[in-house]
Structure 1
Amino acid sequence: MASIKILTVSCLRRISRIQAVNTLNTARNYASKLPTAEELNLTLKPEIPPRESIEYVVSKCPKEWKLVERLIPPKVVPDPTVKPQYPSGWQPPKAESSAQLPYFVERSKNHMPGVYLVRQVRGQRVRTKIRKVSGDIWALERDLKEYLEEKHQKEVISQINEVTRCIWFKGDYVNDVIRWMTQKGF
């Protein structure tokens, strides 16, 4: 039995050496068949033609400048136009109702509520994140937790980070939190 193992191992070593040599020879053969840069008429440093001076005229016409200004993106996101109702369901914050509460949630630069769905660990871990909380963050977490537990009839796990001004809820509660925030006037 031992002699068969020794014979098999020595044969396999010989076969693997032969395959390695054949692979190396094949690679050398292919490398010798590749065309050189001279055969392909390539130069290492392509010559760049000198820049031609482009003639242009500066327009002083305000009518033409209005057309150009439309193409330039604004540096700041403009305030939305005031309407009684928006087609997307978006609502602007109401200053009078949110001023009575001990906490406040700022909106993003695009005037959207700071509520996000975060997926981690290949989408297995789903959490709701509320950013830019000012004021009493503990009271906001308590009120939101009461609302979510009452609505879903189950315990809601939350985490507060005072330093980053964030509240995390385990699960997907984005739409519920945004609905609650718009009712409160945020």
Structure 2
Amino acid sequence: MTHFLGISGSLRAASSSRAVLEAVLQNLPAGTTHDIANIGDIPHYNADTDGGDAAKRLIAQIEAASGLVFVTPEYNYSIPGVLKNAIDWASRPAYASVFKGKPCLVITVSAGALGGVRAQAHLKYILNGMLADVFAGQEIVIPHAPKRLIDGKFTDSETLAFVTGQLNDFCARIGVAGPQNRP
């Protein structure tokens, strides 16, 4: 069974990142499963500790996943600190962590006009540094994301059609028949 793990860079339950992630995961192929990681409970990275249950749970979730779907906002021209912290916990040992060879799809959102392009570049750079298999399709950046939510749901059909096309390509790359175009 193919299993995907969604990781939101925002901790807010009503964030546009979370809404986009939930919409994307709903478009995964039939017969696949998915979870959403909870990165908010992970302590600050400290190599003197093991990170406790929260860090161990994230590492196990990443290891068990066939592919990762990141959706993150851009904070101060980069990724949120909480996302970087979670990645740092799962990035050990260097060059041999659970990220090595793991297929990753990166989506960024922003309230601004650029859609998180700097966060997109930074996250891909970080993932490449851990030898993750970062999907090299067209970049998925969603500008003015909060304005595209209706009752907390991301329902922008034009954007979802584009994202679903990229999701099809991502799934095909990891050997899974892609979702139907059902934005």
* Shared fold (TM-score, shorter chain, > 0.5): no
Larger Rg: 1
Q: For this structure pair, what is the TM-score category when the shorter chain's length is used for normalisation?
A: under 0.3
Q: Which has the higher contact order (CA 8 A, sep 6+)?
A: 2
The TM-score normalised by the length of structure 1 is: 0.20
